[in-house]
Structure 1
Amino acid sequence: MYQVPPEKLAFYEENGFVQLEDVMSEKEMNELSAYLDEVMAIEGEHTQTVDKDSDYFKILNSKMNTWRDSAGMALYVLSPKLADIARQFSSSSGVRLFHDQAFWKMPGDSKPTPWHQDATYFPMNESNVLTLWLPMHDVDDVNGCLSFIPGSHKEGKLTNVDFLHPIDLLELTKENGTDLRRPVNVPLKRGSFTLHHGLTFHYAHANKSDHPRRVLTIVYMPEDATFDGKSNHELTRGSGFQDGDLIKGRLFPVLASAPNEG
């Protein structure tokens, strides 16, 4: 398994995001990229797909839960290596899968992804979820890399942002008397990825290149995460979960747990 350097753990705790370089081999990236292209090209039975005629498509073309329609994607979404890396940054004893999501930021009439906090969209009481953001190729501010506000995960949960009609989270924090530091762009080389806390403010630049910006994200939640009792998220809608219930079951497996020191 991959052992995260202590300085990376400290950086994440302070800033709410971290960059890990050269974690994935060229062979792994070739396989994953091919699987992701395949699953994006099909009409899956289980994935949720964006309407190509919608305004949202100009921001993001996405599919959720690709692992349920592709055994190849499941190899990586359920990867023990990736999950254990996430666990090392988590404050919990283990991590469950919440969902994966493929994000294609299309070329041409591309729009940026507004500043937002991931945890505000999720149906759980806890906010210490982690998002692993893994591009299939090099990314920078030309083709849509991420930008983060260091330390913004300490602001607490604010409100979810409508990507088509966004509010300005940065202005909202100013109204609260908070002076956040300036954004940090995080370009990545193929084989590298970022992890960010569920409350960290982040943004994706528009894609000004000639090719789709292709990314796999995996969202990990604490193994003891509980249902918030009111969310209308598609993955828990009709699940029968009650307020405070452990979010568990066949769609939310524990993927990594702390080693038994006994």
Structure 2
Amino acid sequence: MTEASTVRFYRDNGYVLVKGLLSREEAAAYREECHAVLARLRRTDPTWGSARELAGRPTELRHCHDAQFYSAAFARLMVDSRFTDLAAALMGSENVQLHHTKIFVKPAEKGSPFPMHQDAAHFPHTRHTVGAAIFHFDDAPEEKGCVRVVPGSHRGGPLPHIEEGGWHLPLSEWPLEAAVPVEAEAGDVLFLTYLTVHGSGVNRADEARTTLLIQFRDPEDAPADDVHHSRGQGMMLRGVDPTIRGG
């Protein structure tokens, strides 16, 4: 797709899969870096309680917040113009500011799912420019628990979420299996608005699913609540922060 058609698809549907933004060789190197970082950290499992209910069996998830503070490889990726120029175009802003980053690894055969939700429920903003870029460092077919989306759901604005078990939408009203699977290959990047309803299934494959999430915003889009702080939040990935005055 051209940049114009990519932007149009994103704004109409609330998501767009950008094929081959990274080469498969680059993706493989980042995959190795993700697993090396996680191997150095204390093991934690952020699986939501409701996700275990959804899976119907024991599952696991490995993750790491603020990946750029553990490896310079991710600091370089955050300011790669292939990513930042496209993020700017999707938002319609010259300036791209960091909200947070996360490594997510769904282990082979038992990687935890995510019930359907909007990211906006976790860190609401006033202008709703916030977006996510999910970098795929290995192939993510449906069998590996790829992301699933509800196209156009961003147009309904913020929805009420259930706090118990992980801050998600009602499971009966938003079944995971009814959402559209977005299968991806290593090097692809899935962009989502933070109002787009999405989730992901269980990884049943014999290989882990490895991704990096970069959440970004227009610096003029102020948080609506004082929540979800992270190290490096507010770092400019592209352009300038026009809200800064004086010194």
AA aligned opposite 1:34: E
1:138-189 deviation digits (Å, cap 9, x = unpaired): 11110011111110000101134558365427728xxxxxxxxx63211111
CA 54–141 in structure 1, closer or farther in 2 if over 3 Å, else same: closer
Alignment of 1:52-201 (within 5 A): 58=59, 60-122=61-123, 124-162=125-163, 164=165, 166-168=168-170, 171=173, 183-201=179-197
Identical counterparts, % of pairs: 24
CA RMSD of aligned residues (A): 2.8
Checking the alignment, whether the CA contact within 8 Å between 2:48 and 2:165 is kept in structure 1 is no
Query: Which 5+ residue runs of structure 1 have no aligned equivalent?
Result: 173-181, 237-249
TM-score w.r.t. length of structure 2 = 0.81
Distance 1:20 1:190 in 2: 11
TM-score w.r.t. length of structure 1 = 0.77
Distance 2:170 2:46 in 1: 26
1:44-98 deviation digits (Å, cap 9, x = unpaired): 8xxxx73489967935321110101211221113323211111110033311011
Alignment correspondent of 1:254:
236
Question: What is the count of residue pairs matched by the alignment?
Answer: 229
CA 53–20 in structure 1, closer or farther in 2 if over 3 Å, else same: closer
Distance 1:150 1:170 in 2: 18
Matched, 1:50 2:47: no
Question: Aligned to 1:220, which of 216, 221, 236?
Answer: 216
CA 192–210 in structure 1, closer or farther in 2 if over 3 Å, else same: same
Moved over 6 A (4+): none
CA 122–208 in structure 1, closer or farther in 2 if over 3 Å, else same: same
Query: Which 5+ residue runs of structure 2 have no aligned equivalent?
Result: 53-58, 241-247
Distance 2:44 2:235 in 1: 26
Distance 1:155 1:24 in 2: 32
